Amino acid sequence: MKGLMKIIGVILGILGLSAKATAKKKAKVKRAFRSDDAYRVEAKKGGKMKKKKSLPDMSGDGKVTKKDILIAGNKIVAIADNLDVYKNEAEVFNAEGKIVTPGLIDQHIHITGAGGKDGFSSMTPEINLSELIACGTTTVVGLLGTDGTIRNIKVLYAKAKSLESDGISAYMFCGYYGLDSVTITDSIQSDMIFIDNILGCKIAISDIRSSYPTALELVRKLRDVRVGGFIGNKKGILHVHLGNLDTKMDVLFELVNEYKFPIEHISPTHVGRTKELFDQAMEFAKLGGIIDITTGASKYTDPYKSVLYALENGVSIDNMTFSTDGNAGLTKFDDTGNAIGVRKAPIHKNLEEVVLLIKDGGVSISEAFKLITTNPARNLGLKHKGKIEVGYDADLCCFTENLKLTDVFAKGQQMMHNGTIIVKGNFE
């Protein structure tokens, strides 16, 4: 049993209770725990489980349970009421009083930096591992921005592989703003087939920096992404940057309604840039699409308020995601609105907005965390991410009852302990 790690008293994931696991619980407890319940760790002391009070009201219905989670290598291999059979062969992590979620996923982040709209000096730096761990991010999808020349696609790939070596999961999109998609191989389709880390292609629409692609040009890229995905055993998505032009998402509706292209392969981002754009994005979500709300930039209101607005208008939370646009280049303004320099988009806003959605918006923990765990995993086609479930990657975050992040595990390795980052990148 060498290499086993046991997390004692850890909740069976806020988002990760499977239908199979639910069925098993029916024989043992008075009620079956639903997948949208909130869960809490129970402490193990003196060989007995010590009962704790329920979570605060912000957790939804306040119902609790306790589970042990067994990790072998980078996978969750067992979830049960008691796994003491392994106590002599496994390291024990006691998560007393903690809320446990899957590791957080940021599906739109500039890991090699971005910017450059005000010259070379306005280019933002690369992201370090510790910056990601500090906000519980254990999976990233890196991408290029306006610039597909200086921010080279091969450098992006190298950075993704570097972050993998550091201990987290890192993927990427080929392409950039332009219609002439930059690739590592000779085509989008070949990238999808032969480059494991590539999950799709990025392009921009409704932006003065875009190539103003037509529906026919987009559908051809979608075909390459989808067919490449078939062969490469990936979902395949066209990740679409949205600007603030009046055309908004019109061409994406044309893809769905006139070309009948499956909506699940179209992934629009920055949908909260303007109120008018978000209103249209809600209609896209009602058709079955997943819309991505940017938390670090490009927003007409607080992102969590956009989610509440969408929920009020009949959009399922399962059709929404958060991403940061982290390290994008942003203009810095003074109090009078004059541009005074540049700054980088923050990378911690996903978690911050989810906490606001829970505390101020009244959304349950289990539902709110879907925006940065389950939903992006499903959007990206990552079959072993976003849930706490047997066979899934051992990516876990532990929080206090007030939702302060204390511990982070990435692929079974502890990266943060009691609020202190214990694993950093090579050059930090």
Confidence of residue 65 (pLDDT cuts 50, 70, 90): low
Task: State the amino acid at position 121 in one-letter form.
Answer: S
For residue 397, being part of any structural domain is answered with yes
For residue 347, being part of any structural domain is answered with yes
Mean pLDDT lowest among 116-125, 185-194, 314-323: 116-125
Tokens of 48: 């007995």
Q: Are residues 141 and 20 in the same domain?
A: no
For residue 289, being part of any structural domain is answered with yes
Q: Are residues 95 and 108 in the same domain?
A: no
pTM for the full model? 0.86
Q: Per residue in 380-401, pLDDT tens?
A: 999 999 999 999 999 999 999 9
CATH number for the domain spanning 240: value is 3.20.20.140
Average pLDDT rounded to a whole number, residues 266-280:
98
pLDDT for 334 equals: 78
d(CA 402, CA 355): 9
Tokens of 22: 């639910």
Q: Are residues 167 and 313 in the same domain?
A: yes
d(CA 193, CA 174): 12
Q: Are residues 118 and 90 in the same domain?
A: no
Residues 6+ apart with CB under 8 A from 328: 110, 114, 115, 124, 145, 296, 297, 344, 345
Q: Are residues 348 and 312 in the same domain?
A: yes
For residue 427, being part of any structural domain is answered with no
pLDDT for 212 equals: 97
d(CA 303, CA 338): 24
Q: Are residues 368 and 257 in the same domain?
A: yes
CATH number for the domain spanning 397: value is 2.30.40.10
For residue 426, being part of any structural domain is answered with no
Q: Are residues 290 and 370 in the same domain?
A: yes
pLDDT for 89 equals: 80
Of 13, 422, 395, residue with least CA distance to 169? 395
Tokens of 126: 């690369």
pLDDT at 3 over 60: no
d(CA 368, CA 60): 10
Q: Are residues 170 and 61 in the same domain?
A: no
Q: Are residues 94 and 241 in the same domain?
A: no
Is the CB of residue 362 less than 8 Å from the CB of residue 58?
yes
Q: Per residue in 10-64, pLDDT tens?
A: 433 333 333 223 223 322 222 222 233 333 333 333 333 322 333 333 333 334 4
Domain count, the chain: 2
Q: Are residues 159 and 52 in the same domain?
A: no
Distances from the Cα of 424 to the Cα of 26, 73, 326, 396, 406, angstroms: 43, 20, 19, 17, 16
d(CA 40, CA 64): 6
For residue 174, being part of any structural domain is answered with yes
What are the E-state strand segments in 151-282? 169-175, 198-205, 237-242, 266-269
pLDDT for 54 equals: 30
**Which residues are known to be catalytic?**
325
Q: Are residues 253 and 359 in the same domain?
A: yes
Residues 6+ apart with CB under 8 A from 142: 109, 110, 111, 112, 156, 159, 160, 170, 171, 172, 173
pLDDT for 277 equals: 98
For residue 161, being part of any structural domain is answered with yes
Q: Are residues 113 and 217 in the same domain?
A: yes
Tokens of 411: 């692929």
Q: How high does pLDDT run on average in the chain?
A: 85
Q: What residues make up the domain containing 33?
A: 4-102+386-421
Q: Per residue in 399-421, pLDDT tens?
A: 999 999 999 999 999 999 999 99
Confidence of residue 342 (pLDDT cuts 50, 70, 90): confident
Average pLDDT rounded to a whole number, residues 108-130:
91
For residue 428, being part of any structural domain is answered with no
> What is the arrangement of strands in the sheet containing 4-8, beginning at the earlier edge strand?
75-80, 68-72, 4-8, 91-94
Angle between helices 349-359 and 303-312 (to 10 degrees): 50
pLDDT at 151 over 80: yes
Portion of the chain with pLDDT greater than 90, in percent:
71
Residues 6+ apart with CB under 8 A from 208: 243, 245
